[in-house]
Amino acid sequence: MNYYNVFFCFLVILYNENFESPNLFKFVYIFKLIFTFSFFIIFINFWSLIPYVYGLTTNLVVGLSFALSYWICLNISNMVNNMNSFFGHFVSPGAPLGLGFILSYVDVVSSVVRPFTLTLRLVINVSIGHVIFSLLGLMGSNFIFSSFFFMGLILLFLMMFYFIEFFVSIIQSLVFGLLGVNYLGEHS
């Protein structure tokens, strides 16, 4: 067993101890997928903080490809490991017949919508940061010859916002990974 696998086993143990979920050791390979996506998202977000570099995570197709590939892998894995439990997740036992159909429909829709909510959360938060960067830069270019005070103030705001965006990049990756692990714990 190499260090890579030991690290992911440690993450599974940490998750099991903190969230009281069923045993997730059979899903270590999906943890690796989530971890890889999270670090790739951090790398892309850090790369997009460089001026004049297009942020790939602001593109819906890139975010949707991350979320859909994870969602498809998770659902296929759940169907292969325990098909009865996977489909039983969509059935509400003890509910009246009419209400049971509605609740099953709501559960299926909420499962299908998950990759799109992951995508929108990532794309919108990163896009808003880039729009604010552009607006502050435009304001700075308007004040460049009028007053050094306003120019210095705009540069101060840009630097502060840059550090905020740095942490938003980390948080977006963390949220993507934690929601993926949460979805995994819900289906296992």
pLDDT tens track for 139-162: 777 777 777 777 778 788 888 888
Mean predicted lDDT score pLDDT of the chain = 79
pLDDT over 70 at 55, yes or no? yes
| pLDDT for the residue 6 | 64
- Residue position matching structure tokens 């297009």: 54
Instruction: Say how far apart CA 88 and CA 93 lie, in whole Å.
Output: 9
Distances (CA, A) of 46 to 42, 73, 154, 161: 6, 27, 22, 14
Q: What are phi and psi of 62, to 5 degrees?
A: -70, -50
* Domain with 105 in it: 3-187
Q: What is the pLDDT of residues 103-132, one digit of tens each?
A: 888 888 988 999 999 899 888 988 888 888
Domain total in the chain: 1
